[in-house]
Amino acid sequence: MAPASVFQVIAYLALLTALTPLVGWWLFAVFERRETPLDPVLGPIERGLNRLCGIDAGVEMRALHYALSLLAFNLIGLLALFLQLRLQGSLPLNPQHVPGLPWDTALNTAVSFVTNTNWQSYAGESALSPLSQMTGIGLQQFLSAATGLAVGVALVRGIVRDNVNRVGNFWADLTRAWLYVLLPLSIVLALFYVGQGSVQTLGQVVHATTLEGARQSIVTGPVASLEAIKQLGTNGGGYFNANSAHPFEGPTALAVFIQALTVLLIPAGLTSFFGRATGDRRQGWVIFSAMMLLFVLSLSLTIAAESAGTTSLAKAGVAGAASPGQTGGNMEGKEVRFGVIESSLFASVTTAASNGAVVASHDSFTPLGGGSLLVNMLLGETIFGGVGVGLAGMLVYALLAVFIAGLMVGRTPEYIGKKIESREVRMAMFAVLAVNFAVLVPAAISVVAPAGLAARLNMGPHGFSELLYTFASAAGNNGSAFAGLAANTVYVNLMTAGAIFVGRFLFILPVLSIAGSLSGKKRLAESAGTLPTNNGLFVGLLVGVVLIVGALTFFPALALGPVVEHLRMLAGGLF
């Protein structure tokens, strides 16, 4: 790997680590209602919104009330977005006069964006109007991220509070999430992207004549503002079909680097928020270290696989391939301006988080490179994950880790002073298994159903990987895809919408149940028999539990896809 590429990766990891405590401090101030520098400006707006909506921010909710409020809010948002997408042909700000989406595409899109998944089975520049992009897609990117952030904060409160049986006020948390966190940062980022070359306009389609004399229509729109919240909120839905590979979305290598940094900014910062909330910042660094270790392992495998390329080209008789492998690495499906390393870094970041943005075709990655991206999603939202729910996912595994450790030493497991009993363990396993169910069941159906098989572009293990990746992305609220899949069919739209819905809400509901259960327990002092959860030993235990659960659940499926494809590649086979 070239020195510049090494520096790029090291700079990314160093910046993310350095910014983590700063973001954690801000999140702690916002959600613990400490004074912030933005209070003089945003405080009156928050109070006005609360009065307008009849919200008493000082009244806290039990976990059940919190969950019901969350569900009601998201279902209303789903219905509103579905209707807007169906009726967009009759709405203003539609210079291309695009019609409403078909019912199955509109339903899939509404479910996807309300759940922070941003799976796109349509081409944004030709299927949506600027109004739909801004007030439909863009609005839900704020609100879905704010919802996830509220879930993560509620779980932390449940863990650290002492016998109060309250986890906060959903409406107050939702408002503060977008008003104090997502909106200010998005404004700054949008201005930066405009400076880098992204467009931000409500103008008409621009017509140009190419060097060959052909007439070309160039779609413009409010791209920079959508790009900001797309990455910051771990959304991933692009204004254009090419996503961040489009020069209006990813105009420069620096812009793409900053996009990758902002994807993990809030998920990483939440680990510091957790440490501050517990009163022991080492607890936050333990969670961060476990996430970072898993991320570095995945990133290293992806970079190594893509740098080596495929060894099958010469054996397959590809024209111009004088020797095995690909000089300079696997550049198929990648932008020359980004290259192998930045493409691999961006892909690893967005699959480690629940962010479907891409600067390269994941379908064109090598078997091990693409398999690494697939594993990121199959492990659930644990490797940083989405805003809020990523921290919740790792904390669920932390509860399972102390439970397993308690079984080994014959003691009642404890975490941050709370006894972990049967209810918490059942809910934790339900959350993990619900996501696994939403991946494996529709994937199994699709490999035998004619409609599922017809959606593949490739045969053999790569075709299987395309289907498995689809439902891993959907259930993991990621939204990226192996581009060789015919996604916009009634079958795929309905199956992925179901996987998205289950993967989001049947994970969030047990997490909130855990928060409610723990918030009502008394926080106990540490004793000689308490398992320390703020040291390197627990980092290893936590990472081991994540990997073992993932391996036991998904290894047979991975063996049929990326593993077999890699072995066939070594033998000269291509798919």
Choose among 1, 575, 14: nearest CA to 304. Answer: 1
CA neighbours closer than 13 Å in the CB half-sphere of residue 144: 36
3-state secondary structure 475-532: HCCCCCCCCCECCCCHHHHHHHHHHHHHHHHHHHHHHHHHHHHHHCCCCCCCCCCCCC
Choose among 261, 218, 262, 209: nearest CA to 239. Answer: 218
CA distance 382 to 261: 17
Q: What is the pLDDT along the chain (575 residues), one digit of tens a residue?
A: 677 778 899 999 999 999 999 999 999 999 999 999 999 999 999 999 999 999 999 899 999 999 999 999 999 999 999 999 999 999 998 888 899 999 999 999 999 999 999 999 888 888 899 999 999 999 999 999 999 999 999 999 999 999 899 999 999 999 999 999 999 999 999 999 999 999 999 877 888 888 888 888 888 889 999 999 999 999 998 899 889 999 999 999 999 999 999 999 999 999 999 999 999 999 999 999 999 999 999 999 999 999 988 876 544 444 444 445 566 788 988 988 888 999 999 999 999 998 989 999 999 999 999 999 999 999 988 999 999 999 999 999 999 999 998 888 777 789 999 999 999 999 999 999 999 999 999 999 999 999 988 888 888 899 999 999 999 999 999 988 887 788 889 999 999 999 999 999 999 999 999 999 999 999 888 777 778 899 999 999 999 999 998 888 999 999 999 999 998 888 877 76
Q: Residue 486 has what pLDDT?
A: 80
CA neighbours closer than 13 Å in the CB half-sphere of residue 503: 37
| For the chain, domain boundaries | 20-251
- The 10 Å CB-count burial string (b at 16+, else e) for 91-121 is eeebeeebebbbebbbbbbbbbbbbbbbbbb
The answer for 354, left when phi > 0, alpha when psi is -120 to 50, beta otherwise, is beta
pLDDT in tens, 519-533: 999 988 877 777 889
Q: Residue 95 has what pLDDT?
A: 84
CA neighbours closer than 13 Å in the CB half-sphere of residue 180: 30
Q: At what angle do helices 3-31 and 253-278 cross, to 10 degrees?
A: 40
pLDDT in tens, 218-274: 888 899 999 999 999 999 988 998 899 999 999 999 999 999 999 999 999 999 999
Instruction: List the beta bridge partners of residue 215.
Output: 209
Q: Residue 316 has what pLDDT?
A: 46
Longest distance between any two alpha carbons in the chain, whole Å: 80
The answer to whether 142 and 182 are in contact (CB under 8 A) is yes
Choose among 227, 133, 236: nearest CA to 186. Answer: 227
Q: Residue 1 has what pLDDT?
A: 67
Choose among 202, 249, 261: nearest CA to 20. Answer: 261
The answer to whether 344 and 302 are in contact (CB under 8 A) is yes
Distance of alpha carbon 240 from the chain centroid: 19
| Percent with pLDDT over 90 in the chain | 74
Q: Residue 321 has what pLDDT?
A: 44
CA distance 425 to 409: 17
CA distance 77 to 178: 15
3-state percent breakdown (helix, strand, coil) of the chain, nearest 5: 65, 5, 30
Q: Residue 396 has what pLDDT?
A: 96
